[in-house]
Every structure is written in structure tokens, then in C-alpha cells.
């Protein structure tokens, strides 16, 4: 049996744009999700601008991007409930950051890439002085939900995503 190539998690850098788009789109294609470059996916076409308040990470293996994850930083949300309504969206109460755009294409799963990306996002959030991370994930992504729970996240609610499909999502809170 040939062992998989090692991977490295690193910050996004100029020149990664196409690899990021291809990695995320591979997961969208796998699940039959609609790709919306001018709307829901516009952030992936200008990562430095969209993630200036936070970070965008990639996993690279064999010269290819094989995973992505982002840290979004924001002002602390009200914390009177596990899930709060903010600007017409359901959010995790008390959260002041979020993991976003965690995607690993199917051929690269089960190698620890998703966990490594998530752990780096958590580390960056802690280094930024954040206290609670919100994680929203499509209800079909059971492996990701197992990962979040293994890292201490707890399920707090659900919502419909603002993506083109209005996908149902689980919401998790991770105290940092």
C-alpha cells in the first residue's frame, strides 16, 4: 500500500486562488450544490479582501491545494441564548469568531487534513483573544460534525443557510 503524500497547512498566499476555488468546488460538485461565483462564493475570488479580519488557510500536498479553512473574526454576539437572531440570521450566542469554508475534497479525506485545518483555525482564534467559536455546517457533513464534537464543540441549534439551496445546517458552539 502506498502511503498518501504528506500535507502542509499554511496561510493563503497570492497564486492560491484557482486551487482554493477548485478544492471548494470539488465538494460542491460532489454534493450537487449550486456554484454561485458572484454571490455566495464571491469571497473565494478575493480571499485577501474578504478575510482581512481573520485568516484563510490552505492544506497543500504534492503542489496542490487539498483543503481550505477560514477564521472570521467579529464583535461578540449577544449571549442570552445558545442561538440568537442577528440581522435576520440565526447565530451562536456569545460567539466572537467562526470557522468558515472548511472543505476537503473526497480523495483527500481521512488523512487528518480537516482536523489539522480546524486546529490551526482554533489556535489563531485563541491567539486573537477570542472566547467562543461558531461553526455552521450542512447537515449532510456527518464526518465534519464528528470532528467538531471531538474537539469539544456542542450542538446548539440549526438554521437554513443563505446559500443558493437554503441548505439546512447544524450550529455548534466551541468555547475557546
Alpha carbon separation from 11 to 33, 35, 52, 59 (Å, rounded): 26, 24, 12, 9
What's 8-175's CATH class? Answer: alpha beta
Q: What is the DSSP string of 33-87?
A: PPP-TTTTTGGGGSHHHHTSSEEEEEEEETTEEEEEEEEEE-PPPP-SSSEEEET
Q: Kind and range of the H or E element at 173? A: strand 168-175
Q: How far apart are CA 131 and CA 54, in angstroms?
A: 14
Cell numbers linked to 133: 467559536
Cell numbers linked to 51: 478575510
Q: Domain residues of the chain, as ranges?
A: 8-175
For the chain, 176 residues long, the average pLDDT of each consecutive 10-residue run is 78 96 97 94 95 94 97 94 92 97 96 97 98 97 95 96 90 98
Would you say 122 and 102 are in contact if contact means Cβ atoms under 8 Å apart? no
Strands 168-175 and 154-160: antiparallel
Q: Which of 92, 95, 142 is nearest to 114 (CA)?
A: 142
pLDDT for position 1: 46
123-147 burial, b at 16+ Cβ within 10 Å, e below that, comes to ebbeeeebebbbbbbbeebeebbeb
CB atoms within 10 A of CB 104: 27
SS3 14: coil
Predicted TM-score of the model (pTM): 0.94
pLDDT digits (tens, 9 = 90+) for 94-136: 999 999 999 999 999 999 999 999 999 999 999 999 999 999 9
pLDDT for position 45: 96
Strands 97-103 and 132-138: parallel
pLDDT for position 3: 54
pLDDT for position 4: 72
Amino acid at each position: 500500500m502506498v502511503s498518501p503524500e504528506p500535507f502542509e497547512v499554511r496561510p493563503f498566499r497570492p497564486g492560491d486562488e484557482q486551487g482554493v476555488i477548485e478544492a471548494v468546488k470539488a465538494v460542491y460538485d460532489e454534493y450537487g450544490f449550486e456554484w454561485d461565483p458572484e454571490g455566495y462564493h464571491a469571497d473565494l475570488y478575493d480571499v485577501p479582501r474578504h478575510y482581512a479580519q481573520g485568516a484563510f488557510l490552505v492544506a497543500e500536498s504534492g503542489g496542490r491545494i487539498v483543503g481550505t479553512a477560514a477564521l472570521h473574526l467579529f464583535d461578540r454576539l449577544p449571549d442570552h441564548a445558545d442561538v440568537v437572531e442577528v440581522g435576520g440570521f440565526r447565530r451562536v450566542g456569545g460567539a466572537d469568531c467562526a470557522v468558515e469554508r472548511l472543505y476537503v475534497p473526497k480523495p483527500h479525506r481521512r488523512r487528518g487534513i480537516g482536523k489539522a485545518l480546524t486546529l490551526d483555525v482554533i489556535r489563531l482564534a485563541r491567539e486573537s483573544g477570542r472566547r467562543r467559536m461558531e461553526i455552521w455546517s450542512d447537515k449532510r457533513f456527518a464526518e465534519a460534525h464528528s470532528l467538531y464534537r471531538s474537539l469539544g464543540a456542542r450542538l446548539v441549534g440549526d438554521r437554513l443557510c443563505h446559500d443558493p439551496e437554503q441548505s439546512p445546517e447544524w450550529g455548534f458552539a466551541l468555547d475557546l
